[in-house]
Structure 1
Amino acid sequence: METVCIPHQATTFFSGLNTDYLAGHEALAPFYAFSPDDAGLDRAITARKQFPVNRQVLVETLRRQYRNHTLYEAVSRNIDALADDNTFTVCTAHQPNLMTGYLYFIYKIIHAAKLARHLEALRPEHRFVPVFYIGSEDADLDELGVFRFNGIRFRWQTEQAGAVGRMSTRDLQPLLDQLTALIGPPGDNAERLKEIIYNAYRQHGTIAEATRYIVNELLGRYGVVVIDPDDAALKQLFVPVLLEELFRPQAHELVQQTSHALEQAYGAQAYSRPINLFYLKDDIRERIEQHGDEWRVLRSDIRWDREALGQEVKAHPERFSPNVILRGLFQETILPDVAFIGGGSEVAYWLQLKPAFDHYRIFFPALVLRQSVLWIDAAATQLQRKTGLSDEELFQPAEKLVRAFVHKHTHKDLQLEDNKQQLNHIFDQIKMKAINIDITLRASAEAALTKMRHQLDTMEKKMMRAEKRNMAGQLSQIYKLKNRLFPNDSLQERYDTFMPYFLEQGNTFFDTLMDATLPYGNQFLLIRTTQPEPALV
């Protein structure tokens, strides 16, 4: 394997806000607390000590949530270590997508483990635990119930509703049978993958429990601890914020001010609401709104007066689910985080939230853009060599690459720019002669020139298409390469699941990622297979 790093901005897949954040632009400095580097994390570790969490509740909850799982020794040690005030966490979060959903699900968690290791080397007097926070309360089944494998798009057909993490795995069996029938070729990796899928979704009652099992089986040896925040004991720690959000809301106004400042340069990110909470019970997860002296749950007949709502929060905090604006505050209330690792959109919306953290006196962690990776297998490596494309050129649109290739390798003149300039000069003369005869002929002359320019543009395109046909064999290699590395014109990590890579490499896939991942993810990684493999035909 060969690892290459390139700047994020060279890929064209990252927003200006993300690249400016990585570059440390001063305009963004007011929106975060600690820079994503060794110096920033050193300050974050020192500052975090002033924001204690309830470690007893945290450890007891984790032990209870893991009671039906066989723990790796590294996970067990890390859970025990969280009882110590000298232990901190590096957190990443994602919804419980079926089969983990996308590759970046794995990348996030590996990155948390890598940064935790890095920080232990930086500050050996402390322990750092990588934590995966399951977004189990998300109700977007259209997103979480879909994944791809072997060129097939799988969708979970279920009548269940509400929080996906709470959903039963019972009616997943037809989909699982279809999936496991396709897993191959036969071998240890295929059998291991089938075993993980079977145990996850047939021996665990909910999607959240199944997701914890998968993460533990795949990544537990790195000490990754999985926490499900949909828990009454954890929500109890958040009751003061829940009550204020319902009766004296501040987050909406604070986030709106920050959002307005960011929008001037970067556009809108996450939207806040007057009340940033859902009501979560049985098969519903719906927003709470205040109407006069009454609070209502949308699309239901649930409503309270002030006293009844306060009693409901105190008796059943697990029924109140933070939205994107408050989720981070809840996370930092229950975990002793020093860093949060998120994708581009997550970093963007977290930059809106610092005033809300300050208002509630909750620690705002260092924000780290998760590691992005492009796997270039041996066949793609051969194609890249044949086409002569550089690593940065791989990220350009296929048509742009094709045009550049044709212009570089053709022996013919495919451009009519000189002719267009000559035509402009001739028509300017004709137009002046026409105007001198009758000023009303100006429009006719200009229309004729526009028509001729269009005809020349059309001819130029036809010449390019003809030369493309002449080079069809060579150009097909560019299209094959792009389709292989960027399925559906998207980043590989936003399309594939981990499963094909695990079938090919087994646990080596995760070890390679762990070795290659940068502690702060500040470069885009290309991991290239260099051993020979038959060329694509």
Structure 2
Amino acid sequence: MPTDHIPFRDTNYFSDFICDYLDQKPDLKEFYHRFPNLENFEAQLEEKRLSVLEDSRIVLVNTLKSQYKTIEASELTTENIENLNSENTFTITTGHQLNLFTGPLYFLYKIASTINLTKQLKETYPKYNFVPIYWMASEDHDFEEINYFNFRGKKIQWNSVQTGAVGHFNTEGLDAVFDVISSEFGAGKNAEQLKSWFKETYLNHNNLADATRYLANELFGKQGLVVLDADDAALKRLFIPQMKKEVLEQTAFKTVSETNKKLENLNLKIQVNPRELNLFYIKGGLRERIVESEGAYSVLETNITWSKSELLKHLDEFPERFSPNVIMRPLYQEVILPNLCYIGGGGEMIYWLQLKSNFEAQNVTFPMLLLRNSALIKSEKQSFKLEKLNISNKDLFLDRHSFINKKVRKISNIDIDFSEQIQHLESQFKTLFDLAEQTDKSFVGAVKAQEVKQIKGLKHLEKRLLLAQKHKLADQIERCTELQEQLFPGQSLQERNTNFSELYLEYGNQLIPELLKTLEPLKGEFLILNLK
């Protein structure tokens, strides 16, 4: 399929922070370990190999086998799980919330990026095995962020009064959502496949974690994807030393706070702030912060309290009841996985860059950080219309006001660009400033006022002429903006708004193979993909 690429900075949808990271600006070097270039993986492999304990591999494999008991895993996924027992096997990991029916389209891009990187690494380092991991955010408790997906401008929502970790939520009530999507998806082979996936995922699984594992496996299992739910007692037992250090020394608060100061001194906007204690207590429908005051520990919004010794004893006995927050979750991931690289979105990359000092304090290898692939998918019909209207790929990324003004200037039969006249006027006033300086400096202010007045008048006239042309060319402009809105719904990136079901209805089984064929995780640019 025809493709094009645009630098992330040129899209104007990614922060200077993340673009500076991609450009490997020297100011950011201390905040990451190794930049994700293909050649840098060799040193990362060796460092991680020396730090992974054999016992942790055994626990990981046993946990995954248990979690896959009710899943029809592909031969490649089964082989990948077995390979994790071997010291020459490493993981590439991405993580995502348990969004209803995958949520925004970038769910697919994250996982496809992860799978493609493992393939590329295997070609470069053939004596090692590389396993793609999807880490489910099953301990998250922000239900409002995940209980819906967008479909053709409509919000398909699951209403539930359950509380606590969303992975524990039972799927009761999703039959009503199934009735809604059955009507919205309509008829046809692709629609029936979507309905079948939704029904099997949410009506035939008891909780959201199991449901999401099933769906991810259906979409990517043939590619060897391994889905991990780290909300597990055996896995958390491996993390006890780091949780104890957090309790006793408030390690994350001290280290991340210091890093945040350094980032702020660089005028960079930080993503997350650490708590004094970065652990939650999780049990049943409860997931609340653990806090310390004058040597006593308690769980917010409850009557649960401990002394320091009682808390540490409880942690030893029931590690599954302790849940890392956003600051500690990455550390947990790197303790239990033989991981080399984390693939995430721009916001995730920024908060990972805040965490390296905490990893160092906990003596855990910091992974390489890779921005996931981003893409805009255009249909053949949309591509034809864009070409006919002379709209370039770069034009599409303009904000609506700039997009319209550029199109008006481009299709107008008169030149409505007074920049040349303004430049000429400024040149004339330079001569007047020189004259005023040589005669009476008191006239400089008057000359400046006249310059401002005349330039303002020219810009005002330019705006009026543009407005008149907009009215005259209203039909053409409307066609242009309708196309931009289709591809940038709500003036945001397609991948952050649209659900994969919209594209699957049109492209069916072609969709995911095309993503796997075209997404290049180490390319470092935004992909524009034309699908037939």
TM-score where L is the length of structure 1: 0.91
After TM superposition, the structure 1 = structure 2 runs for residues 362-511 of structure 1, keeping only pairs within 5 Å, are 362-412=364-414, 414=416, 459-511=461-513
Whole-Å separation in 1 of the counterparts to 2:73 and 2:510:
21
CA offsets per residue over residues 416-466 of structure 1, 9 Å max, x none?
7759959x98xx99xx9xxx9xx9xx99x9999989987775554332211
Root-mean-square deviation (Å):
2.4
Select 1:119's aligned residue among 118, 121, 125.
Answer: 121
SS in 1 for 2:51: coil
Q: Is the 8 A contact 2:51 2:365 kept in 1?
A: yes
SS in 1 for 2:271: coil
Amino acid at match of 2:17: L
Whole-Å separation in 1 of the counterparts to 2:70 and 2:403:
53
| Residue equivalent to 1:268 | 270
| Residue equivalent to 1:534 | none
Q: CA deviation at 1:389?
A: 2.3
Whole-Å separation in 1 of the counterparts to 2:127 and 2:478:
56
- Matching of residue 32 in structure 1 with residue 18 in structure 2: no
Q: 1:413 to 1:384 in 2, by over 3 A?
A: closer
Q: Which moved more, 1:403-412 or 1:155-164?
A: 403-412
| Residue equivalent to 1:235 | 236
| Residue equivalent to 1:289 | 291
SS in 2 for 1:153: strand
Whole-Å separation in 2 of the counterparts to 1:143 and 1:475:
35
Whole-Å separation in 1 of the counterparts to 2:449 and 2:376:
50
- Matching of residue 328 in structure 1 with residue 335 in structure 2: no
SS in 1 for 2:499: coil
SS in 2 for 1:50: helix
Whole-Å separation in 1 of the counterparts to 2:88 and 2:452:
74
CA offsets per residue over residues 48-87 of structure 1, 9 Å max, x none?
1111141110000001111111111111111111111111
Q: CA deviation at 1:184?
A: 3.0
SS in 1 for 2:184: coil
- Matching of residue 245 in structure 1 with residue 246 in structure 2: yes
**Could you list the runs of 5+ residues in structure 1 that have no partner in the other structure?**
532-537
Q: How many residues are treated as equivalent by the alignment?
A: 516
Q: CA deviation at 1:478?
A: 1.7
Whole-Å separation in 2 of the counterparts to 1:78 and 1:414:
61
Amino acid at match of 2:235: L
Whole-Å separation in 2 of the counterparts to 1:118 and 1:452:
60
Amino acid at match of 1:18: I
Amino acid at match of 1:11: T
Q: Is the 8 A contact 1:184 1:503 kept in 2?
A: no
| Residue equivalent to 1:173 | 175
Whole-Å separation in 1 of the counterparts to 2:300 and 2:100:
28
Amino acid at match of 2:206: G
Q: Which moved more, 1:446-455 or 1:317-326?
A: 446-455
Q: Is the 8 A contact 1:372 1:521 kept in 2?
A: no
After TM superposition, the structure 1 = structure 2 runs for residues 141-180 of structure 1, keeping only pairs within 5 Å, are 141-180=143-182
Whole-Å separation in 2 of the counterparts to 1:372 and 1:208:
26
Q: CA deviation at 1:288?
A: 1.1
| Residue equivalent to 2:279 | 277
Amino acid at match of 1:4: D
Select 1:75's aligned residue among 50, 70, 77.
Answer: 77
After TM superposition, the structure 1 = structure 2 runs for residues 303-322 of structure 1, keeping only pairs within 5 Å, are 303-322=305-324
SS in 1 for 2:282: strand
Whole-Å separation in 2 of the counterparts to 1:247 and 1:478:
60
Amino acid at match of 1:222: Q
**Could you list the runs of 5+ residues in structure 2 that have no partner in the other structure?**
none
| Residue equivalent to 1:535 | none
TM-score where L is the length of structure 2: 0.92
Q: CA deviation at 1:198?
A: 0.8
Q: Is the 8 A contact 2:409 2:417 kept in 1?
A: no
| Residue equivalent to 1:8 | 8
Q: Is the 8 A contact 1:398 1:478 kept in 2?
A: no
| Residue equivalent to 1:205 | 206
Q: Is the 8 A contact 1:146 1:155 kept in 2?
A: yes
SS in 2 for 1:17: helix
| Residue equivalent to 1:226 | 227
Whole-Å separation in 2 of the counterparts to 1:509 and 1:164:
29
| Residue equivalent to 2:91 | 89
CA offsets per residue over residues 362-408 of structure 1, 9 Å max, x none?
12111111000110112220222122222222211122122122223
Q: Is the 8 A contact 1:59 1:79 kept in 2?
A: yes
SS in 2 for 1:27: helix
